């Protein structure tokens, strides 16, 4: 993996310390967890989908939580022993499907909301949308336009 020197960006930006810290944290070798594998897709102009491979997990084994611009997905498979003594005993000769507990965290940008989640065919799909409030959207200011004042004039008694 390549290592990038971000020090020139530190000198020319203000307020992006958290972003650069996250980049430094995940750029190191062996830092990012690899289980379970996931995809991040853009499904529209302001819509995204995170797909996580969770083979062997049921809906009751998974939890999804958002807090402070962070999305946390946890999985813990509850394997129960056979309740019936007459059930045939099995022996695993090769275990390629990992059903170990996991915790996967994603940092969300400001105004990104989770709109839904779906589990199908061993894939957990989490849909997100980036909804910027109208007051925060950029607006064009025409040069030479007259100033408008929304304040009511004072009434003299």
pLDDT of residue 132: 77
Domain boundaries, the chain: 33-78+97-133
Whether the full predicted model's pTM is greater than 0.95, yes or no, is no
pLDDT of residue 114: 92
pLDDT digits (tens, 9 = 90+) for 29-68: 555 567 889 999 988 888 899 999 998 899 999 999 998 8
β strands within 1-157, DSSP E: 38-42, 47-53, 62-67, 70-75, 102-107, 112-120, 123-130
Region label for 139, one of left (φ > 0), alpha (ψ between -120 and 50) or beta (otherwise): beta
Q: Architecture of domain 33-78+97-133 in CATH? A: Sandwich (2.60)
pLDDT of residue 74: 93
Mean pLDDT of 121-146: 84
β strands within 112-155, DSSP E: 112-120, 123-130
């Amino acid at each position: 993996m390549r290592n990038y020197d971000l020090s020139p960006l530190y000198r020319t930006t203000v307020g992006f310390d958290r972003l650069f810290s996250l980049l430094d944290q995940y750029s190191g070798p062996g830092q990012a967890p690899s289980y379970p594998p996931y995809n991040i897709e853009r499904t529209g102009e302001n819509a995204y989908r995170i797909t996580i491979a969770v083979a062997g997990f049921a809906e009751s084994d998974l939890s999804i939580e958002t807090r402070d611009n962070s999305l946390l997905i946890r999985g813990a498979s509850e394997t129960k022993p056979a309740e019936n003594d007459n059930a045939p005993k099995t022996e695993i000769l090769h275990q390629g499907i990992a059903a170990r507990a996991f915790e996967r965290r994603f940092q969300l940008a400001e105004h990104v909301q989770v709109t839904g989640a779906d589990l199908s065919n061993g894939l957990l799909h989490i849909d997100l949308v980036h909804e910027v409030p109208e007051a925060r959207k950029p607006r064009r200011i025409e040069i030479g336009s007259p100033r408008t004042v929304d304040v009511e004039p004072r009434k003299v008694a």
